[in-house]
Homo-oligomer: A and B are copies of this chain.
């Protein structure tokens, strides 16, 4: 079994020595190790990958014994249970379905939920459940409640918004802290909100981008995981940008998920620390 050990602490002398000491006592060989000290906040982050057969609780207790105040997350390397939410666009979803099927991302897609019925054939062709939860004629709250029910049925570790074009309420978001990942079709914080490609067209930018981020209560303001860009020029209409942007959107989302599902992402305040 391979494990990912993530530790956060107030920085001080001897942390690496103490933690590596516990692993040594357990007879574990470190296969990959990364540390980072955020000097502005005097904060220490460490991710360790090791293999072996251990009693997980005992290891955590041993670390806590030496370093009582640290935050510890110990995850066996494993496929994450994921629910994907979409609206009408196929490019991110299609890419995720392929990557899940062929093991390019460590996830099991439990179900796809959409407020439209457009992508059912695609999803079911991959043998995955598709839930159409229409928003038509429903109050926002009622619709979101139905979405929530559909999500909870599958008890996912992560929710991936693969171009889900409706805003989720803070109540919804707070049920899944640090567990909802969104792809936004702009280079945040440029072009927050609706129609970012139209905004980019109007401003005459020469590069467009996409941003994968954790969703928090504030729209488009959660901790950023990955960003990507592509050059454009004066020949691109807003619609051309939309088409060209699809490729960067799906790549950026896939890269973000790879990092998250491999337990490489720490969240600290409004930012991420990522050991690539």
Interface residue? A205 (CB, 8 A): yes
Interface residue? A21 (CB, 8 A): yes
Chain B residues in 8 Å Cβ range of A35 = 30, 32-34
Decide yes or no: A189 and B204 within 8 Å by CB, A24-B14, A229-B229 being known contacts. no
Chain B residues in 8 Å Cβ range of A98 = 90-91, 94-95, 98
Are B189 and A203 closer than 8 Å at their CB atoms?
yes
A190–B187 Cα gap in the complex (Å)?
A: 8
Interface residue? A87 (CB, 8 A): no
Are B229 and A205 closer than 8 Å at their CB atoms?
no
Closest residue of chain B to A231 (Cβ to Cβ) is: B227
| Copies of this protein chain in the complex | 4
Are A37 and B27 closer than 8 Å at their CB atoms?
no
A150–B218 Cα gap in the complex (Å)?
A: 49
Contacting residue for A17 out of B24, B37, B39, B247, CB 8 A = B24
Are A24 and B32 closer than 8 Å at their CB atoms?
no
List residues 235-252 of chain A with CB under 8 A from any CB of chain B: 235, 237, 243, 246-247, 251
A34–B32 Cα gap in the complex (Å)?
A: 10
Are A234 and B187 closer than 8 Å at their CB atoms?
no
A39–chain B nearest beta-carbon distance, Å? 8
Chain B residues in 8 Å Cβ range of A16 = 16, 20, 30, 33
Are A246 and B104 closer than 8 Å at their CB atoms?
yes
Decide yes or no: A224 and B237 within 8 Å by CB, A104-B91, A104-B246 being known contacts. no
Are A270 and B189 closer than 8 Å at their CB atoms?
no
Are A226 and B206 closer than 8 Å at their CB atoms?
yes
Beyond A16-B30, A21-B21, A189-B205, 16 additional pairs, beta carbon < 8 A: A13-B28, A14-B24, A17-B24, A20-B20, A31-B39, A91-B102, A95-B98, A104-B243, A187-B187, A188-B203, A188-B205, A204-B270, A204-B271, A206-B225, A233-B276, A234-B273
User: Which residues of A pack against B, CB within 8 Å?
Assistant: 12-14, 16-17, 20-21, 23-24, 27-40, 90-91, 94-95, 98, 101-102, 104, 122, 125-126, 187-191, 203-207, 209, 223-229, 233-235, 237, 243, 246-247, 251, 254, 270-274, 276
